[in-house]
Amino acid sequence: MTATTTLPATEQTDALGIHQPRLPKWAPAGIALGAAAVGVGIGTVAGLSSRIQWGLIAALLFVLASYAISATVEGKRQAKDRFATSMVWVAFLLAVIPLASLIWETVSRGIKVLDAYFLTHSMSGVVTIQPGGGVYHAILGTLEQVGIATLISAPIGLLTAIYLVEYGKGKLAKAVTFFVDVMTGIPSIVAGLFILSLWIMMLGFSYSGLAGAMALSILMMPVVVRSTEEMLKLVPNELREASYALGVPKWKTIMKVVLPTSIGGITTGVMLAIARIAGESAPLLLLVFGNPVINGNPFDGAQAGLPLFIYEQWANGNEASYDRAWAAALVLIAFVMILNLVARGIARWKAPQHR
């Protein structure tokens, strides 16, 4: 396979026994290339059709070769180190490849019909088998539904977390923690069914963006509570004590010292929770219902939403609809990505300064 080189024997006497032959710096890269080449070779010769098989063979070869070469040249301890390192690299690649391929697929297919017209028009009057139409009504719906869900769940989640960290002790706090844990595990379709039976079937309201937002807020709330709780716990107790020692009451200490110190992390947590619910389709299917025309009023009547739009277009089962589904998926991914970037920006901007 790849050539192995050892460092030139050291001139000095090695009285302490601290010198050891090391593989050159490029060795891991070389072994990886060699393993990839052999993997491709085996794949072609054996006529394996799946590229995944080629890759797995190459990965296996890489790990084994790293260990074997290192063991012969560098000794056992180094070989174990190389083994662990190569496993980490393989795991990293295994994790990244599906992600990269997903983004590549979405971008390359979605870019086809994604233009200003697509972003500014609805599906009103468009026959599904024809190209044209747009996603404006779905973007509007998603923004409104996610916005309302955030308005409902962020304050409740924030206050719950403050209660749990700053005030909560005893049975009530334990019960709240338990139910937050339970809520974390609620499948989105169950949240949707709950609102459906309560809001639409029992109370007799109609389909609306608000109904969807309520289901989304059920999903969002535990995420906000959990992340805010962690951020508040990170605030050193010394800061609270410093504030108390100045004669500042507890509520003001929380408002002026604890929250400002952790606001960056809290905002990031809320943003990530928004990103998590923006892609939920099941509750929208039950509660928002979907609508090809623009309905800007989230409190009345069926609306559209991006995940719902993707589902509907895909279900149409023709080329023009597939294109629209991919483009909408791209818009949704971009939306979530922008939220993530904004969250990072806020976290960096609000982080306690040190210089």
Given the rule CB under 8 A, which residues bind other proteins?
A: 169, 236, 238-249, 252-253, 256-257, 260-261, 352-355
Q: Which is nearer to other proteins, 26 or 167 (CB)?
A: 167
Q: Are 293 and 248 in contact (CB under 8 A)?
A: no
Q: Please report how close the Cβ of residue 225 comes to other proteins at its closest, in angstroms.
A: 21
**DSSP letters for 127-165:** -TTSS---SHHHHHHHHHHHHHHHHHHHHHHHHHHHIII
Q: Please report how close the Cβ of residue 236 comes to other proteins at its closest, in angstroms.
A: 7
Q: Please report how close the Cβ of residue 351 comes to other proteins at its closest, in angstroms.
A: 9
With vertex at residue 201, the alpha carbon angle to CA 200 and CA 204, rounded to the nearest 5 degrees, is 60
Helices marked H in the chain — which ranges?
A: 27-46, 51-73, 76-110, 116-120, 136-162, 171-184, 188-195, 209-234, 237-245, 250-253, 259-278, 282-287, 306-316, 319-350
Q: Please report how close the Cβ of residue 239 comes to other proteins at its closest, in angstroms.
A: 6
Q: Please report how close the Cβ of residue 272 comes to other proteins at its closest, in angstroms.
A: 22
Strand partners, 289: 303
Q: Are 295 and 303 in contact (CB under 8 A)?
A: yes
Q: Which is nearer to other proteins, 191 or 266 (CB)?
A: 266
State which amino acid sits at residue 210. L
Q: Which is nearer to other proteins, 76 or 233 (CB)?
A: 233
Q: Which is nearer to other proteins, 26 or 251 (CB)?
A: 251
Q: Which is nearer to other proteins, 2 or 177 (CB)?
A: 177
Comparing CA positions, the residue from 152, 130, 313, 308 lying closest to residue 217 is 152
Q: Please report how close the Cβ of residue 241 comes to other proteins at its closest, in angstroms.
A: 7
Contacts 24+ apart (CB under 8 A), 37-42: 38/1
Q: Which is nearer to other proteins, 51 or 256 (CB)?
A: 256
